C-alpha cells in the first residue's frame, strides 16, 4: 500500500475543512474594541487611580498599608473577616459534599428535584434571602424557638457573627454544591467497587479513591466561596453589628462617610490580593487533580452505575433533607411574610392582608425604586448584550495566542469583589459627577454583566460548526447573508440567555447601587436595604416577593425559549 | 421536461499552474498543478492526506486564495471571484447541514439566495429530495436523520440550484462501509442523471476506482498522474502510483541493456524500455502472479522469483498468498479458486508471471 508521505497541508491541521480563509483578520480587535474600552474606562483606569490614592492619600508613602496592621482596629477586622470566610467555606463544604454525593446517587426525578432546590437561592434575590434570615434569626424567631428545647432559646443570634455566618453559608451553598456535583458526576462509579475488589473496605475505598477524585470540585467550590465571603457587605451589614464588622463594612464607612479613599483603597487592595492568591492557589491545586481525574479512566456520568455499589444510607437521606430545607427556607419565609398584616417581622404571621403590596405599588419611594430598577436592568442588559456579543465574535476571530489573555481580561469583573468594584466606581464617578445618577449605576452594572454575555455567546459560538458560514458561501450566500441566515440564528439563544443573565445581575446588584445611590437614583434592592437599616418597613417582604418574580420570570422565559430552540439543536 | 428543473450542462474547469503556499512552508501545499476538467466529467482527486487535494478543492470553490496560477471556468478566470459568486455546489465530509433549518429549508437555502420565486422553489426542493430518495422528509430536522440521510440532504442542497460543477470533499468517509457503498451508487447515478461535472476528493482508492471517469493522483502538492482508472491501474507510471492504486509486488532490481532486467539472482525478460535508466522498479499486480512448487512447473517464457510462503488466506472466491521473496522484500499473489495454490506457511515456491503483465516504473 501507499507509503504515507504526508506533508502538512495547512500550518496547523490538514483537515479543518474549508474553515476560513487564512487572510489576516484585524476585524477581531474591531469587534472587541467597545467592550475593552468600556472595561478600561469603567474599571481599569479607576482601579489604577485608587491604587495611586492608596499610596498618596493623604500623604505619599506606605502609611495606609502600614495602618492596616498597626492601628489595632483594622487588623482585628481583617482577621475576623478571614476567620468568618474560612468557617463559612468549611461548614458549607461539610454541608454540601454529602448533598452533592446524594445528587449523583439519586434517580433522575430525585436528581432533578435536588438540582432545582440548589438553584432556588439563585432565583431569590440577595436582599430577600438576607431579609428572610433576619426574620428567622430575630429574637423570638423560628430558630430561637427550635433551639429552646436544648436550652439555647435565649441565646441572642441577630447582630452576632453567628447570624452572619449562618446566612452567608446558606447564600453561598450553591457555589459549593455545583462544582462538587460536577466533579463527582465525572467519576466512574465502578472505581470504588474496583477498589473494594482489590481488598479495600468500603470506607477506605471511598477515602482513597472517591475523595481524591472529587477533590477538584471541593477545592474549586471552597476557594470560590472563601473569596466571595471575604467581600460580603449586605449580610454583615444587615445581620451583624458594627462591633463585629467585616472588611467590606469598614471600606464602606471609610469611603462613603470619611471620604478616606487612601485608607479604603489600601483595604480594597488587600482584599484583591488575597482573592487573587486564593484563586491562583486553587487553580493549581484543582488543576493538578483534574489531571488525576483524566488519568483515572474514561470520565463518565454516574447514572446508575454507582447504585449497585453504594446504596443511599439513611444518614445521607437525613443530611440531604436538612440541607434542602436550609436551601429553600428563606424563599419559603419571604412569600408568606409578604401577606402579613402585621407591622412587625413576626413569622409566621398571625393575620393576613395585601397592605404591603398596596404600599409597594402606591408609595412614591417604592414605585420610583421599582421603575429605577427596571430601567437600570433593561439598559444594562441592552448595552452589555451588544458589547458582550460583539466581544465574543471578536474573540473567536482573534489569533489563539491572544484569545486567552483577552478573554481573561473580559471576565475579570467576575472575580473582583463587588465591594472593591463599588469602591473603585464610587471614587471615579465622584470626580465625573456620575454619582447619584442612574447612568452611573447602569455603566457600573454593564461592566459587571459583560462577562456573563461573553461566556454565554462564546459557548454558543464554540458549539457551532465553524464551517457553516463557508458552507453558506458555497451555496451562494454573501458574507452578510451568511451571518444573517446562519450564524445569527445559531448564536441567538446564547445572546438571549446572556441578556437575561445581564438583566438579572443588574436587578439583584446591591453593593454598587448602594454606593452610587442618591435621592433620585435608588434601585429596589437599595430601597429594600434602607427599609431595614434606616426605618423598619415591612413593605420589604412584598418587595422581596416581587424580586423573586422579577428574577424567575426572565429565567423561566429563557428556559422555555431555550428548550424550543434546543429542539432545533446545534448538532 | 417541466420547468424549472434540476440539471445543467456540466461546466469545464481548468487549473492553470495553480499553487498555494502557507507562509514559507516547503514544499508548497499545492505546487504548480495543471488539470483540465472536461464538461460533465467525473474526476477524482486522489492522494494521501496532506497531499494537497483538499487545498486544491478549496481553491476551486473559493475558500482558499491561490498563491499563484489561475482557475478558469468555461474559459473565464475566476481566481479572484468570491465563493458565493462562483455557483459551484459543494458536499462536505461531515454533512454540514444547517442545524436550525429543516431538511426542506436546507435544500431551499441556495434558491433563496438566488431569489427563486416560492412556487419554483417548492418544486425544485421537492424534485431534489425525490432525487435522493428523501421525498416526504422535508419537515424533519437534520439531527433526526441518519448519517447517510444527512449526506443525501447535503447532496440535494448542493445540486438543487443546478450548478455547473459539484465538488465533493470526502463525502463518504464519515459513513460506515455498507452505507458508503450504497451512497457511492447514489452519487454515480446522480452524475449520470444530472450531467454535471463532478470533482470528487478522496483518499480511498476503491472509491476512486469505482466512481471516476478519470483520476488525478496527488503526492506532496503535485499531480503525479492523470488517467482513467484502468490506465492508471494497468500502466502506472511511477512506483508511487502503483503502490497507491491497488496492491503491487515491487521488485527493486536493475534495468540492464536491451531487454534484460536483473533482480537478486535472476535475469528477467522485459519488452519495454521504460524511462531507459537503470534505476527502475518492476511492478507485478498480485492477480497476475502465479505460484509453482518447482522450477519445472513454471511455464516457458515466464519471469520467476523464488519465495517463501508466509501466510495463506481463503476468501471464498480466491486465495491470497503472502510471500517473502529472497531479497527480503514482501509481496502477495491472489489466486482464483481452481488455480494451483500453495501449501501452508513455510513452503518454498516459485512465483512467476508473463512479461507482458509486468510494468517498469521510475523510482
- Cell reading at A162: 453567628
* C-alpha distance from B346 to closest chain A C-alpha (Å): 24
Cis ω before A252 (30° cut-off from 0): no
Tell me how far apart the terminal alpha carbons of chain A are, to the nearest angstrom. Answer: 36
Q: Which CATH superfamily is domain B249-362 in?
A: Nucleic acid-binding proteins (2.40.50.140)
Q: What is the pLDDT of residues B144-201, one digit of tens each?
A: 999 889 999 999 999 999 998 999 999 988 888 888 888 899 899 999 988 899 999 9
Distance separating alpha carbons of residues A210 and A192, to the nearest angstrom: 7
* C-alpha distance from B318 to closest chain A C-alpha (Å): 20
E runs forming strands in B220-284: 222-227, 249-251, 254-256, 260-263, 266-269, 280-284
Q: Which of B60, B96, B202 to mutate to test the interface with A (most CBs of A within 10 A)?
A: B96
Distance separating alpha carbons of residues A182 and A100, to the nearest angstrom: 9
Interchain contact, A473 vs B83, CB within 8 Å: yes
Interface contact B275, partner A, CB < 8 A: no
Distance separating alpha carbons of residues B197 and B7, to the nearest angstrom: 11
- Domains recognised in chain A with CATH numbers: 25-55+353-571 (1.10.3720.10), 68-239+291-332 (1.10.3720.10)
- Is the pLDDT at B216 greater than 60? The verdict is yes
Residues of chain A scoring pLDDT < 50: 1-24, 288-309, 568-571
Complex ipTM > 0.85: no
Output the pLDDT for position A92. Answer: 95
Q: What is the pLDDT of residues A176-217, one digit of tens each?
A: 999 899 888 888 877 777 877 787 777 887 888 888 888 888
Output the pLDDT for position B294. Answer: 87
Output the pLDDT for position B91. Answer: 93
| Closest Cβ–Cβ partner in A22, A467, A571 for B92 | A467
Interface contact B220, partner A, CB < 8 A: yes
Under DSSP, the state recorded for B357 is G
CB B189 within 8 A of CB B155: no
* C-alpha distance from A566 to closest chain B C-alpha (Å): 9
Output the pLDDT for position A397. Answer: 86
Question: A470 contacts in B (CB within 8 Å)?
Answer: 63, 83
* C-alpha distance from B83 to closest chain A C-alpha (Å): 6
Chain B: residue whose CA lies nearest to A493: B100
Interchain contact, B92 vs A18, CB within 8 Å: yes
Residue B225 sits at φ, ψ, to 5 deg, of -160, 145
- Is the pLDDT at B358 greater than 70? The verdict is yes
Residue B225's pLDDT band, with cuts at 50, 70 and 90, is very high
Chain A / chain B CB contacts < 8 angstroms: 145
Listing from the earlier edge strand, what are the strands of the sheet with B254-256?
A: B254-256, B260-263, B266-269
Report chain A residues touching chain B, CB-CB < 8 A: 1-11, 14-15, 17-23, 465, 467-468, 470-479, 481-482, 485-486, 489-490, 565, 567-571
Q: What is the pLDDT of residues B288-342, one digit of tens each?
A: 999 998 888 889 889 999 999 999 998 888 999 999 999 889 999 999 888 777 7
| Closest Cβ–Cβ partner in A3, A467, A474 for B83 | A474
Residues 51 through 70 of chain B touching chain A, CB cutoff 8 Å: 51-52, 54-55, 58, 61-65
Tell me how far apart the terminal alpha carbons of chain B are, to the nearest angstrom. Answer: 54
Interface contact B89, partner A, CB < 8 A: yes
Chain B: residue whose CA lies nearest to A570: B99
* C-alpha distance from A379 to closest chain B C-alpha (Å): 30
DSSP for A16-27, please give it: STT-------TH
| Closest Cβ–Cβ partner in B52, B88, B114 for A474 | B88
Chain A: residue whose CA lies nearest to B84: A476
CB B304 within 8 A of CB B350: yes
Average pLDDT in the B17-22 region?
Answer: 92
Between B86 and A568, residue with greater pLDDT: B86
Interchain contact, B141 vs A10, CB within 8 Å: no
CB A135 within 8 A of CB A195: no
Q: Which residues contact A226 (CB under 8 A, 6 or more apart)?
A: A85, A86, A88, A89, A278
Domain B13-234: which CATH class? Answer: alpha beta
Interchain contact, B54 vs A9, CB within 8 Å: yes
Q: What is the pLDDT of residues B134-158, one digit of tens each?
A: 988 999 999 999 988 999 999 999 9
Output the pLDDT for position A293. Answer: 37
Question: B157 contacts in A (CB within 8 Å)?
Answer: 475
Question: B143 contacts in A (CB within 8 Å)?
Answer: 569, 571
Output the pLDDT for position B102. Answer: 94
Residue B350's pLDDT band, with cuts at 50, 70 and 90, is very high
Between B278 and B254, residue with greater pLDDT: B254
Interchain contact, B84 vs A477, CB within 8 Å: yes
| Closest Cβ–Cβ partner in B50, B58, B99 for A8 | B50
Output the pLDDT for position A346. Answer: 80
Q: Which of A474, A494, A570 to mutate to test the interface with B (most CBs of B within 10 A)?
A: A474
Query: Residue ranges per domain, chain B?
Result: 13-234, 249-362
Q: Which residues contact B281 (CB under 8 A, 6 or more apart)?
A: B239, B242, B250, B251, B252, B253, B360, B361, B362, B363
Q: What is the pLDDT of residues B46-78, one digit of tens each?
A: 999 889 999 999 999 999 999 999 999 999 999
Interchain contact, B113 vs A10, CB within 8 Å: no
Chain A: residue whose CA lies nearest to B162: A475
| Closest Cβ–Cβ partner in B51, B55, B110 for A476 | B110
DSSP for A61-97, please give it: SSHHHHHHHHSSSHHHHHHHHHHHHHHHHHHHHHHHH
Amino acid at each position: 500500500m501507499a507509503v504515507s508521505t504526508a506533508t502538512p497541508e495547512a500550518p496547523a491541521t490538514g483537515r479543518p475543512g474549508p474553515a476560513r480563509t487564512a487572510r489576516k483578520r484585524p476585524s477581531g480587535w474591531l469587534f472587541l474594541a467597545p467592550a475593552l474600552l468600556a472595561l478600561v474606562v469603567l474599571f481599569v483606569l479607576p482601579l489604577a487611580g485608587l491604587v495611586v490614592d492608596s499610596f498618596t492619600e493623604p500623604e505619599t508613602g506606605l502609611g495606609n498599608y502600614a495602618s492596616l496592621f498597626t492601628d489595632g482596629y483594622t487588623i482585628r477586622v481583617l482577621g475576623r473577616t478571614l476567620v468568618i470566610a474560612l468557617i463559612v467555606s468549611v461548614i458549607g463544604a461539610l454541608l454540601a459534599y454529602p448533598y452533592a454525593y446524594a445528587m449523583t446517587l439519586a434517580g433522575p426525578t430525585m436528581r432533578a428535584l435536588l438540582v432545582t432546590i440548589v438553584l432556588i437561592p439563585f432565583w431569590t434575590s440577595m436582599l430577600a434571602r438576607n431579609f428572610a434570615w433576619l426574620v428567622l434569626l430575630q429574637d423570638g424567631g423560628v430558630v430561637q424557638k427550635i433551639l429552646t428545647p436544648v436550652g439555647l432559646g435565649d441565646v441572642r443570634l441577630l447582630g452576632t457573627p453567628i447570624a452572619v455566618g449562618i446566612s452567608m453559608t446558606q447564600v453561598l451553598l450553591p457555589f459549593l454544591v455545583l462544582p462538587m456535583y460536577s466533579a463527582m458526576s465525572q467519576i466512574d462509579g465502578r472505581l470504588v467497587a474496583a477498589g473494594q475488589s482489590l481488598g479495600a473496605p468500603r470506607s477506605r475505598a471511598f477515602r482513597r479513591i472517591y475523595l481524591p477524585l472529587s477533590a477538584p470540585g471541593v477545592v474549586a467550590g471552597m476557594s470560590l466561596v472563601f473569596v466571595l465571603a471575604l467581600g460580603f457587605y449586605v449580610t454583615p451589614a444587615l445581620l451583624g453589628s458594627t462591633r463585629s464588622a467585616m472588611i467590606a463594612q469598614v471600606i464602606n464607612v471609610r469611603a462613603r462617610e470619611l471620604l478616606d479613599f487612601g485608607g479604603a483603597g489600601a483595604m480594597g487592595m488587600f482584599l484583591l490580593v488575597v482573592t487573587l492568591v486564593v484563586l491562583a492557589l486553587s487553580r493549581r491545586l484543582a488543576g493538578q487533580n483534574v489531571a488525576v481525574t483524566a488519568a483515572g479512566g474514561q470520565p463518565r456520568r454516574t447514572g446508575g452505575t454507582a447504585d449497585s455499589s453504594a446504596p443511599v444510607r439513611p444518614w445521607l437521606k437525613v443530611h440531604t433533607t436538612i440541607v434542602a430545607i436550609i436551601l429553600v427556607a428563606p424563599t419559603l419565609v419571604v412569600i408568606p411574610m409578604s401577606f402579613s398584616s402585621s407591622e412587625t417581622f413576626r413569622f409566621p404571621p398571625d393575620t393576613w392582608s395585601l397592605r404591603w403590596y398596596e404600599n409597594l405599588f402606591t408609595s412614591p419611594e417604592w414605585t420610583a425604586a421599582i421603575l429605577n430598577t427596571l430601567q437600570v436592568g433593561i439598559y444594562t442588559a441592552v448595552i452589555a448584550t451588544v458589547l458582550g456579543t460583539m466581544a465574543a465574535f471578536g474573540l473567536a476571530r482573534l489569533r489563539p495566542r491572544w484569545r486567552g489573555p483577552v478573554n481573561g481580561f473580559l471576565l475579570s469583573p467576575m472575580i473582583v469583589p463587588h465591594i472593591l468594584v463599588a469602591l473603585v466606581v464610587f471614587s471615579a464617578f465622584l470626580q465625573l459627577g456620575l454619582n447619584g445618577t442612574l447612568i452611573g449605576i447602569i455603566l457600573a452594572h454593564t461592566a459587571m454583566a459583560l462577562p456573563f454575555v461573553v461566556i454565554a455567546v462564546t459557548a454558543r459560538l464554540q458549539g457551532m460548526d465553524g464551517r457553516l458560514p463557508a458552507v453558506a458561501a458555497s451555496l451562494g450566500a454573501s458574507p452578510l447573508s451568511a451571518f444573517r441566515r446562519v450564524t445569527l440564528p445559531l448564536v441567538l439563544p446564547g445572546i438571549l440567555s446572556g441578556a437575561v443573565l445581564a438583566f438579572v445581575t443588574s436587578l439583584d446588584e446591591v453593593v454598587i447601587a448602594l454606593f452610587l445611590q442618591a435621592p433620585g437614583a435608588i434601585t429596589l434592592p437599595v430601597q429594600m436595604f434602607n427599609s431595614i437599616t434606616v426605618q423598619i418597613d415591612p413593605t420589604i417582604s412584598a418587595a422581596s416577593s416581587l424580586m423573586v418574580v422579577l428574577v424567575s420570570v426572565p429565567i423561566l422565559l429563557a428556559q422555555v425559549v431555550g428548550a424550543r430552540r434546543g429542539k432545533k439543536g446545534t448538532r | 421536461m417541466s420547468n424549472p428543473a434540476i440539471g445543467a450542462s456540466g461546466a469545464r474547469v481548468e487549473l492553470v499552474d495553480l499553487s498555494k503556499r502557507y507562509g514559507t512552508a516547503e514544499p508548497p501545499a499545492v505546487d504548480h498543478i495543471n488539470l483540465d476538467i472536461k464538461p460533465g466529467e467525473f474526476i477524482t482527486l486522489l492522494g494521501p492526506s496532506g497531499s494537497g487535494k483538499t487545498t486544491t478543492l478549496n481553491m476551486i470553490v473559493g475558500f482558499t486564495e491561490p498563491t499563484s496560477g489561475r482557475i478558469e471556468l468555461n474559459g473565464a478566470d475566476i481566481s479572484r471571484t468570491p465563493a458565493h459568486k462562483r455557483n459551484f455546489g459543494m458536499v462536505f465530509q461531515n454533512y454540514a447541514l444547517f442545524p436550525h433549518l429543516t431538511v426542506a429549508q436546507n435544500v431551499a437555502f441556495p434558491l433563496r439566495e438566488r431569489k427563486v420565486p416560492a412556487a419554483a422553489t417548492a418544486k425544485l426542493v421537492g424534485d431534489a429530495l425525490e432525487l435522493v430518495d428523501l421525498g416526504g422528509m422535508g419537515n424533519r430536522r437534520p439531527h433526526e436523520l441518519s448519517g447517510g440521510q444527512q449526506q443525501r440532504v447535503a447532496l440535494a442542497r448542493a445540486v438543487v440550484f443546478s450548478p455547473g460543477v459539484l465538488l465533493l470533499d470526502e463525502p463518504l468517509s464519515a459513513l460506515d462501509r455498507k452505507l458508503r457503498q450504497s451512497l457511492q451508487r447514489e452519487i454515480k447515478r446522480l452524475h449520470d442523471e444530472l450531467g454535471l461535472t463532478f470533482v470528487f476528493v478522496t483518499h480511498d482508492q476503491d472509491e476512486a476506482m469505482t466512481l471516476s471517469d478519470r483520476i488525478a493522483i496527488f503526492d506532496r502538492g503535485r499531480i503525479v498522474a492523470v488517467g482513467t482508472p484502468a490506465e492508471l491501474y494497468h500502466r502506472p507510471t511511477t512506483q508511487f502510483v502503483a503502490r497507491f492504486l491497488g496492491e503491487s509486488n515491487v521488485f527493486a532490481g536493475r534495468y540492464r541493456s536491451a531487454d534484460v532486467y536483473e533482480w537478486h539472482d535472476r535475469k528477467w525478460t522485459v519488452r519495454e524500455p521504460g524511462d531507459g535508466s537503470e534505476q527502475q522498479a518492476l511492478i507485478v499486480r498480485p492477480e497476475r502472479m502465479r505460484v509453482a512448487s518447482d522450477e519445472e512447473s513454471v511455464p516457458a517464457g515466464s519471469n520467476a522469483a523464488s519465495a517463501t510462503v508466509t501466510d495463506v488466506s481463503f476468501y471464498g472466491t480466491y486465495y491470497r498468498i503472502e510471500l517473502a521473496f529472497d531479497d527480503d522484500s514482501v509481496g502477495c499473489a491472489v489466486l482464483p479458486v481452481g488455480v494451483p495454490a500453495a501449501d501452508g506457511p513455510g513452503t518454498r515456491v516459485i512465483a512467476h508471471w508473463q512479461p507482458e503483465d509486468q510494468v517498469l516504473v521510475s523510482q
